[in-house]
Structure 1
């Protein structure tokens, strides 16, 4: 049995090749897993749990089929899907996690998170994150008409694209000090996250102990899956259908 991790799919109705790869993954791989962890940015932007578009309904249905088969599925909100909430959880059977969660992987403790909070040099983004995470603001947003929500989201997406163009890659990557502080806080030597779109496995010493940080890949040009079992782990790719 394996535990699977994915992040940064950025699913949307305009990228059917990614959705097709995701559906195939869910039906052919995740269904046989011991558990599935989605570490944020499953969607290009989740507009809210009241989204009843065909696309949103189809993605909910994939998760519902998986959890109905008895496969536990866990979801950490990312910077694109922070509005995934209790209604989504109830409709799909997916269990929502906090910003940082310690899990047991075959006897080894690991902290899992989206990864955006590790990018402490990106001060402007962290300020934006603090604003949109405020419960009162989300409460208001969830109660405005859908057509207004869509206008707001289009503006936010445009601002994000513009902002990223002016930032260096260094600013948008994690800071090592923050990585180590989070791992020390949770007393773990393994961290798994996404967000940076830089799939890799980093090994480094902390207080004479070997630590490991696994970074998940995005799904822009292929699927990306971390496969973890009792014998170890591997970052793997899944090609899009030709």
Structure 2
């Protein structure tokens, strides 16, 4: 059996084709997997696990979408596929309540896990983009437990409005940034590999799918970058025992 890794689906009610494609993938490719890892930005935005309480009372449809996704993941988990979730820069408020509803385990970012026959470093990838100083300042704030507690104490309509505001600000800011600033910093990649004593890194975030061959102090290493899902196409990495990771894209089926 193999392990499948995905990232950056950015699920939201306005992209039903990606939701349908993910559910088809979950009931198809993922059915034969020993485990699936979702490496962040699973949702376009997440304002707190109490969103699940709204159900159909949420006019945006996000609560109903979240419940549908959680139920599908729970079913896959109960069928024998382990499900792991990692926070991204869009859904850093995902909590244990959603994980429990989804039959999933929340992983810290970064995490080292054994996949196939190898120890592999898993990250969302945003912490590697240190040249984007403005984003790194926001990231530090957004990961602060006191800041998160203040946000989660706000009424849900205010949190929804804040999420829209942050998305708009992020899109405007990114449109004015050089492309290399929003990519990983090479020295941060090698530092992370050294720190964790591994030669393979898998991450998402940058939306630049590729396999990068590296030289880590004279030892061959690799960095695998997952792509972001589009209405007609998804990305995955498959790892089987005795085989190197395989990065592939595939057409989505609704």
The structural deviation recorded for 1:240 is: 2.9
Which residue of structure 1 lines up, in the alignment, with residue 165 of structure 2?
A: 155
Which residue of structure 1 lines up, in the alignment, with residue 132 of structure 2?
A: 122
Gaps of 5+ in 1: none
From 97, 101, 104, give the equivalent of 1:94. 104
> Aligned residues, how many?
242
Measure the CA separation in 2 of the matches of 1:138 and 1:13: 24
Question: Residue 34 of structure 2 contacts residue 80 of structure 2 at CA under 8 Å; is this kept in 1?
Answer: no
Question: Residue 21 of structure 1 contacts residue 238 of structure 1 at CA under 8 Å; is this kept in 2?
Answer: no
The structural deviation recorded for 1:227 is: 1.1
Q: What SS does the corresponding residue of 1:34 show, helix, strand or coil? A: strand
- 1:1-242 → structure 2 map (5 Å cutoff): 1-52=1-52, 53-220=63-230, 221-230=232-241, 231-241=243-253
The structural deviation recorded for 1:199 is: 0.6
Question: Residue 6 of structure 1 contacts residue 37 of structure 1 at CA under 8 Å; is this kept in 2?
Answer: yes
Runs of 4+ in 1 over 4 A off after TM superposition: none
TM-score by length of 2: 0.92
Question: Residue 10 of structure 1 contacts residue 44 of structure 1 at CA under 8 Å; is this kept in 2?
Answer: yes
RMSD: 1.2
Gaps of 5+ in 2: 53-62
Q: What SS does the corresponding residue of 1:170 show, helix, strand or coil? A: helix
